[in-house]
Amino acid sequence: MVNIEFNGTKMQVEKGSTILEAANKIGVHIPTLCHLNLEGFGIVNQVASCRVCVVEVEGRPTLVPSCAEKVYEGMVIHSDSFRAMNGRRMAVKLLLSNHPKDCLSCPKNLECELQALAQELGIREIPWEGERLDYEKDNSSFSLVKDPNKCVMCRRCETMCNEVQTCNILSAVNRGFESFVGPAFNMDMADSSCTFCGQCVAVCPTAALTEVDNTRHVWNALANPEKHVVVQIAPAVRVAIGEMFDMAPGSITTGKIATALRRMGFDGVFDTDFSADLTIMEEATELIHRIQHNGTLPMLTSCCPAWVKFFEHQFPDLLDIPSTCKSPQIMFGAIAKTYYAEKKNLDPQNITVVSIMPCLAKKAESKRPELTKDENSNVDIVITTREFGRMMKSAGIDFPNLEDSDFDKLMGESTGASVIFGTTGGVIEAATRTAYEWITGEELENVDFVQLRGLEGIREATVTIGDMDLHIGIAHGLGNARKLLDEIRAGKSKFHAIEIMACPGGCIGGGGQPYHHGDMNIIRERQKAIYEEDKGKKRRKSHENEEIIKLYEEFLGEPYGQKAHDLLHTHYEAREKI
């Protein structure tokens, strides 16, 4: 420990702590911008580039950035001196002097951290008018938009992309005044090896990186009398959307979501949990088939499109390892435009499938050419949790006070196994519940495989199924996925099955969820709620879903059969690593 004095208060802090950490210890607020503590990954963005957090240290000729400056014995710090406050205001004014003034129409209006800093520091005018950046927006991808003119060089996206996700897409482009963060040579995002996980968007403090806004396409579809518009809602959305309406993180809003969607005018209101159960029917069967027929092991889950694109770019030699199952989102669309269309006597061409997802990669996934049927996309429009929240607000829907209602029948029933798809470890736990009963022929009394749960980046567990020990690996965050894939490539993997999700915490921490600003407590509350909803379900195993049973009896035949394979399975392709 070292002794320091902070704003007149004598205190002891651990040696090696930063001034910012010392301030937090005694409840002193110091504004920050480039700083980001990714607690769950043990990574802190400490580039100290913005100078918004500067403080005065006695004996030092210049102000120092509190996020990166370490304390030492006898240090005397002033964060409330005129010099320190003026330094912070000057830093923000300089950032604003080269920032576009389109706040009213900006995608991050009222959610922009730079805007919030200007408000907090009482900045009402910028005394300088000078040259501004004038780059074109990058609208090349289906998932995200890059606007270099709004980049403040905080490097938070770079830290997330390179250190956490290990995709290494983003870095500084150009130097000095002309600099911003983007792909090498400022190539289009669509041409890079970006996985579109959206974690860069999740941490960007301004609108330099935002999701592609598809809300107008949804409104247009709803207004078209010739279109039968159905919607599906992903499991992770129900435990996060409430945050956009000042509800506590982890508030379970399943019934309110169904009510809101009907008020918005959707013709069919369904739950992606239904197709998550369908995914387990196919995935568990595929795993059992591989084990019993000496197939390729380990089998890796394939429901995360950012993870799929990651291994296509980074590990093209391992394309035979992931499951061939489409994601629950795409399976839903495939069934909606075949089975549902047949039951409702509808022309598939007149059905518009809308997905509400916690993920930006789902937008790009829906446009993959192989995920079509007779040139008809399985899913037509994808919006994020944030976009859904904005749509409800624009419609004047009082979300917290809505009554609960159920999803529509035919494709609306779900089990607890499908709910837990929303969190890391949930997919493999759901598969294990079904695989256990199918392999042993015995009823599984305790469905809670707690050894598969948690938020550690890489986890492993052994589940005994009859006379077999099933070795399971779990990773969330693409950097952790890389470690497991390197082991597979080296022939050192000991697992039968591995679940991988691209985002921290899985879908609950998706790039399209309400901004959590690196607060892992929010992720924990969302995860807790996922397991609460699972526990409250009448049925908790995917193969017990009566609508799924009926789907196979009336339409698909048997799991992993020919028709199921044609509609519910896909293939992957090697992509260039740039």
Q: Which residues are catalytic?
A: 283, 286, 303, 323, 362, 365, 370, 507
CA distance to 52, 98, 130, 139, per residue, from 133 (Å): 21, 7, 10, 18
Task: Kindly give the residue spans of alpha helices, DSSP state H, lying in 366-511.
Answer: 385-394, 416-419, 426-440, 478-489
CB 574 within 8 A of CB 312: yes
Beta carbons within 10 angstroms of residue 70's beta carbon: 14
Strand 497-501 with 468-476, pairing: parallel
Query: How far is it, in rounded angstroms, from Cα 513 to Cα 240?
Result: 7
Q: How far apart are CA 143 and CA 160, in angstroms?
A: 17
Residues 6+ apart with CB under 8 A from 354: 218, 221, 229, 230, 231, 232, 266, 379, 380, 381, 382, 383
Under 8 Å CB-to-CB from 504, ≥6 apart: which residues?
38, 40, 41, 164, 199, 476, 477, 520, 523
d(C-alpha 255, C-alpha 237), whole Å:
12
Contact between 323 and 301 under an 8 Å Cβ cutoff? The reply is yes
CB atoms within 10 A of CB 490: 8
Q: Which two structure tokens, joined as six digits, stand for 212?
A: 């592609």
> 537-559 burial, b for 16+ CB within 10 Å, e for fewer?
bebbbbbbbeebeebbeebbeeb
- Closest-CA residue to 356 (of 283, 435, 264, 287): 264
